[in-house]
Amino acid sequence: MITKTITKNNNHSKYYMLILLIVFAIITIIICPFIGQYDGREILEIFRFPRVLTAFLAGFGLSLSGLIFQNIFTNELACPYTLGVSSGASLGVAFISYFHLSMAIHVFSLTIPSTYIGSFFGAMISVSAVYSITKYYGGFKSEILLLSGVAIGLFFSGLILLLQYLSDATSAINILRWTIGGIEVVGFDSFLLMLPFVVISFIFALLNFEELNLLSLGEEISISRGLNVSKIRIHLFIITSLLIAIIISECGPIGFIGLIIPHISRLIIGYNNKFLIPFSTILGGSFLVFCDTIARTLFTNIELPVGIITTIVGGPFFLYLLLKKK
Amino acid sequence: MNKILEIKNLSLSINSKNLLKNISLSINKGEFFTLVGPNGSGKSSLLKVIMGIISTAHKFKGEVLLEGKNKNIYNQKEIATIITYLPQINSSNHFFVDEFLKMSRYAHRNRFNSSKKEDENIVKQIVEVLNIGPFLGRTISSLSGGEQQKIYLAASIIQQPKLLLLDEPNTFLDPKYQYEINLLLKRINREMKVSILLATHDLNMALIQSDKILILKNGELIFNGISDDLKKSDILSTVFERKFCFSNNPNTNQIFILPDTFSDSGEKK
């Protein structure tokens, strides 16, 4: 009897909070395009709404990937940025850009830009490297995880700089645009390209919320409860790398969303991934829309790339988490 | 099937270090085994190999049979309905107790065919039997070490394994909780007929509670027998390089063991 009452009470309030957040997200998406100066409906339709929706999807996906990494690595400091996965994916884009391999690949009715593929392999290489190093040397200890993430991130950043230095002016500017991270889209193309990948990853994560819950308790407990840890990890690595690759190809490595948002969400809604996944993804989406609106309207004469804002906010937050952990 | 676990000639080496050497043993339904040995003797490794936590990717020889069949033919969920492992717990578990307990039914659930009602009933039943109702609405990290151990034990039982592998569940607990956990283990074994293989440094618990005692030294199983045989042999002194004396509790007549501090190998004379 006690079990039932307590669980129901908990879950009820969590559902209410989720509904509240969804309402908040819808309001944000509707209001933000109107913030700042604009002349005529065209600006809204071609620039503002696509930009807000793309920002929402990017924040949604980055938050999801951070959350998945934190469960896999049983470490709240893991996110695409701190694990060097963003740098890996950026290197993939830079590589495609440098060698002028940009083209569209048609798979059935889908048109996939080759930058997605470069970015995917870059992300997979870095996540595999960090995973192998931490597993071999320290069983997912924070310091090893972060140091290997930083080392791999720096190594890839070095390679990006090299490619940038050797590139012609157009490629160099293209690469620079990605490494900062920003949402400068025209029309709904980016949004529509990202949408299926984000939706599929979200559904996959939500269907596997129990597996993610177990993973977050560590390998020993997960295996003892009957989870095929290696299989689910591989599935999650592939789907997360794909998700990051697509977001980074479109928006560049926007930092720290995957770190800040899941952390705040846990404080509000708890650790159960059944609620945490929808909550932190929607919050992530809204947060990036909010940050992007600030980036767009902060100065009257220029628009800042949103990556600058998230990194300025995320850096100190990361330090706070690190010190708290100590 | 009476035999839950059978191990045949099991050897394990990691980074060219032999952690387990040619171990054979079998555990029947309802039996209580304790596994003792000095630090680094291979107790945890043995439990982890049985559960599959140390993977066969390492240098691994021999066979592990569950209910008479080679463990490799089962998938992980099937294995978890026969055995489960309770490691030394860490306190960074922030789930609510009720959420955590429900997660233990994972092995019995199927995405397309899950019996939520049955799961809830089993959770409710174990919560009542182990008297952990008051903890349900709290997070695990907010509980004391002893309370956490109780919850983890309850979770393992909710999983309904036939054999429970435990890695030093009493370490870091005060005498009150040590006693409570020992009592719980006894009840789980006697009333629920769950076989137990428990790694411990508590020699008295091994003597009093278990049907059979296993002693490991440097990865070798050097004793597999009952407490009376252990009492007669000099094996403990060999393993721990210290003399022990056996006595009986005058109130309960139960046997107990103490390191002999006045013997030649002790520090005092």
Residue of chain A minimizing CA distance to B157:
A225
Whether chain B has a CB inside 8 Å of the CB on A6: the answer is: yes
Q: What are the residues facing B213 on neighbouring strands?
A: B34, B225
Q: What is the DSSP letter of A47?
A: I
Q: Do B85 and A225 touch (CB under 8 A)?
A: no
Between residues B126 and A134, which one has the greater pLDDT? B126
Which H or E element spans position A306?
helix A306-325
Write down the pLDDT at residue A188: 85
The alpha carbon of residue B257 is apart from the nearest alpha carbon of chain A, in Å, by 33
Q: Which of A4, A226, A229 sits opposite B106 (nearest CB)?
A: A226
Contacts of A228 (CB under 8 A, 6+ apart): B75, B76, B77
Write down the pLDDT at residue A2: 44
Of residues A23, A28, A12, A57, the one with CA closest to residue A201: A57
Write down the pLDDT at residue A325: 63
Write down the pLDDT at residue A200: 96
What is the band of B86 on the pLDDT scale with cuts at 50, 70, 90?
A: very high
What is the dihedral sign for C-alpha A125, A130, A135, A140?
negative
Whether chain B has a CB inside 8 Å of the CB on A221: the answer is: yes
The whole-angstrom separation of Cα B46 and Cα B33 is 13
Residue of chain B minimizing CA distance to A74:
B92
Whether chain B has a CB inside 8 Å of the CB on A133: the answer is: no
What residue type is A120 in one-letter code? F
The whole-angstrom separation of Cα A279 and Cα A144 is 29
Is the pLDDT at B175 greater than 60? The verdict is: yes
Write down the pLDDT at residue A3: 44
Number of other CB atoms surrounding residue A168 within 10 Å:
10
| Cβ atoms of residues A268 and A279 within 8 Å | yes
Percent of chain B beyond pLDDT 70? 93
The whole-angstrom separation of Cα A167 and Cα A169 is 6
Structure tokens at A52: 């807000």
The whole-angstrom separation of Cα A113 and Cα A133 is 31
The alpha carbon of residue A208 is apart from the nearest alpha carbon of chain B, in Å, by 9
**DSSP reduced 3-state for B233:** coil
Q: What are the residues facing B96 on neighbouring strands?
A: B139
Percent of chain B beyond pLDDT 90? 49
Write down the pLDDT at residue A1: 44
**Which residue's structure tokens are 């039982």?**
B157
State the average pLDDT over residues B102-129. 86
Q: Where do the domains of chain A lie, and which CATH numbers do they carry?
A: 44-325 (1.10.3470.10)
| Stretches in chain A below the pLDDT threshold 70 | 1-10, 106-111, 138-142, 325-326
Structure tokens at A204: 């996959």
Write down the pLDDT at residue A62: 95
Among B76, B88, B128, B156, the strongest candidate for a mutation testing the A interface, having the largest count of A CBs within 10 A, is B76
Of residues A217, A206, A10, the one with CA closest to residue B156: A217
Q: Which of A2, A214, A271 sits opposite B106 (nearest CB)?
A: A214
What is the fold of B3-93+160-233?
A: Rossmann fold (3.40.50)
Write out chain B residues lying below 8 Å of A228, CB-based.
75-77
State the average pLDDT over residues B18-34. 93
| Cβ atoms of residues B33 and B211 within 8 Å | yes
The whole-angstrom separation of Cα B228 and Cα B242 is 19
Of residues A190, A176, A157, the one with CA closest to residue A89: A157
Burial label for A126, CB within 10 Å (0-12, 13-18, 19+), is buried
The angle that helices A189-207 and A49-72 make with each other, rounded to 10 degrees, is 30
Report the helix count and the strand count for chain B, using DSSP H and E: 9, 12
> DSSP H helical segments within chain B, as ranges?
43-51, 76-82, 97-103, 116-130, 145-158, 175-191, 203-209, 227-232, 235-240
- The domain spans of chain B are 3-93+160-233, 235-269
Mean pLDDT of chain B, nearest integer: 87
What is the dihedral sign for C-alpha B221, B223, B227, B231?
negative
Write out chain A residues lying below 8 Å of B132, CB-based.
none
A172: region left, alpha or beta (phi > 0 left; psi from -120 to 50 alpha): alpha
Structure tokens at B58: 């390492």
**Which residue's structure tokens are 């906010």?**
A313
Write down the pLDDT at residue B176: 85
The whole-angstrom separation of Cα A55 and Cα A284 is 10
Among A11, A135, A206, A225, the strongest candidate for a mutation testing the B interface, having the largest count of B CBs within 10 A, is A225
Whether chain B has a CB inside 8 Å of the CB on A132: the answer is: no
The whole-angstrom separation of Cα B28 and Cα A39 is 81
The alpha carbon of residue A104 is apart from the nearest alpha carbon of chain B, in Å, by 38
Residue A190, CA atoms < 13 Å, CB-side half-sphere: 26
Whether chain B has a CB inside 8 Å of the CB on A266: the answer is: yes
Q: What is the DSSP string of A69-130?
A: HHHHTT-TT--TTTTTHHHHHHHHHHHHHHTT---EEEETTEEEEHHHHHHHHHHHHHHHHH
Whether chain A has a CB inside 8 Å of the CB on B116: the answer is: no
Write down the pLDDT at residue B189: 92
**DSSP reduced 3-state for A186:** coil
Q: Do B109 and A210 touch (CB under 8 A)?
A: yes
Among B47, B51, B53, the strongest candidate for a mutation testing the A interface, having the largest count of A CBs within 10 A, is B53
The whole-angstrom separation of Cα B182 and Cα B163 is 16
Is the pLDDT at B267 greater than 60? The verdict is: no
Between residues B171 and B62, which one has the greater pLDDT? B62
For chain B positions 215-254, those within 8 Å of chain A (CB to CB) are: none
| Cβ atoms of residues A304 and A295 within 8 Å | yes
Q: Which of A10, A207, A228 sits opposite B75 (nearest CB)?
A: A228
Buried b (16+ CB within 10 A) or exposed e, B112-130: eeeeeeebeebbbebbeeb
For chain B positions 45-84, those within 8 Å of chain A (CB to CB) are: 48, 51-53, 75-81, 84
Burial label for A196, CB within 10 Å (0-12, 13-18, 19+), is exposed
Among A224, A266, A271, A326, the strongest candidate for a mutation testing the B interface, having the largest count of B CBs within 10 A, is A224
Write out chain B residues lying below 8 Å of A3, CB-based.
98, 120, 123-124, 127, 133, 136
Q: Which of B78, B106, B127 sits opposite A225 (nearest CB)?
A: B106
Write out chain A residues lying below 8 Å of B106, CB-based.
210, 214, 225-227
Angle at the Cα of A207 (from A201 to A211), degrees rounded to 5? 105
**Which residue's structure tokens are 């103490």?**
B258
State the average pLDDT over residues B161-172. 90
Residue B269, CA atoms < 13 Å, CB-side half-sphere: 2
| Cβ atoms of residues A195 and A57 within 8 Å | yes
Structure tokens at B144: 């004391």
Write down the pLDDT at residue B203: 86
pLDDT in tens, B205-261: 888 888 999 999 999 999 998 888 887 777 888 888 778 888 888 887 777 888 776
